Amino acid sequence: MATAAIIDGKAKAAELSSAIAKTTAALINDRKVTPGLTVVIVGEDPASQVYVRNKQRTAKACGFNSVQHSLGADATQDKILTLIDSLNKDESVHGILVQLPLPVHLDEQAITQAILPAKDVDGFHFQNIGKLTAGHLDDAFVPCTPAGCMLMIEDQLGKDLSGLNAVIIGRSNIVGKPMASLLLKANATVTICHSRTKDLPAVARNADILVAAVGRAKMVKGDWIKPGAVVIDVGINRIEEELDGKPKNRLVGDVDFDEAKAVASAITPVPGGVGPMTIALLMLNTLSAAERSNS
């Protein structure tokens, strides 16, 4: 039996980053504008540190001016809001990103909403969310993970998804809800599932496009998947498995990859699927912000 095509997010992201670097070089040469991305990280969360390093490295490779503000885990709300205010006013900064999650004493919503919508390259400001929900994408910033997922879906199925059923498992503001808006914009028929959905496997089996973004390792089994479906696995879960008699940590998605690849027509791996695309789309949003600010 044929196995699914593996959607190489790493290769797609590298291709996109290369195109961004060329456009950036032209922007610097022609208009003397260098895209500026500033990342604010609070505390010492190890996963956040890795993400931020990857973002910084990619930004520099694209030719951006990349700046990081590292604050202690005890940083006050006022201190962070004052920093964001200064970055909002700094014309050399085109994109501002506050790495989530934040320490529990901080108000995540107040902090993300303090970023100017025109510099909100994560797409979390209510103004950008509203534009996305209304289908006005020309001047909106779309959250990077769903935007990256859509590019991979379009590679498999084209831009017009008329007549196709899309099922999203997970209703988060960062992935599930914006993913639904993008799929609706592309004319798919969309179902959002969550912990209270009845008979989730049966709903999933209707999907021509299945997006798993729930944060539970290998939850989606092979018999949940419609033969020939395109499967996008957003999950990143660290599990311990025994290999050669020794415990070993490894990353897996929300989909049981080995089972799913025997049924799907195409599937993203974990790692190497959605993750690299998220960072590439952050760079694309930052480049767009720089172009818009100087148009």
pLDDT, position 248? 85
Structure-token pair, residue 161: 């998804």
pLDDT, position 271? 94
What global pTM score does this model have? 0.94
pLDDT at 1 over 70: no
Cα–Cα distance measured from residue 108 to residue 111, given in angstroms and rounded to the nearest whole number: 5
Cα–Cα distance measured from residue 32 to residue 43, given in angstroms and rounded to the nearest whole number: 35
Structure-token pair, residue 21: 């670097």
pLDDT at 188 over 90: yes
Domain ranges of the chain: 32-116, 144-274
Please state the length of the chain. 295
Q: State the amino acid at position 210 in one-letter form.
A: L
The 10s digit of each residue's pLDDT in 150-186 is 999 999 999 999 999 999 999 999 999 999 999 999 9
Cα–Cα distance measured from residue 263 to residue 269, given in angstroms and rounded to the nearest whole number: 14
The 10s digit of each residue's pLDDT in 232-280 is 999 999 888 777 788 888 889 999 999 999 999 999 999 999 999 999 9
pLDDT, position 241? 79
CA 155 vs CA 122, 127, 148, 259, 281: distances in Å: 23, 29, 11, 23, 15
Same fold, 32-116 and 144-274: yes
Confidence of residue 223 (pLDDT cuts 50, 70, 90): very high
pLDDT at 124 over 60: yes
Confidence of residue 46 (pLDDT cuts 50, 70, 90): confident
239 beta partners? 250
- State in words which class domain 144-274 has: alpha beta
Confidence of residue 32 (pLDDT cuts 50, 70, 90): very high
pLDDT at 111 over 60: yes
Q: State the amino acid at position 264 in one-letter form.
A: A
Name the CATH code of domain 32-116 (choices 3.40.50.10860, 3.90.420.10, 3.40.640.10, 3.30.465.10). 3.40.50.10860
Residues serving a catalytic function are 55, 99, 122
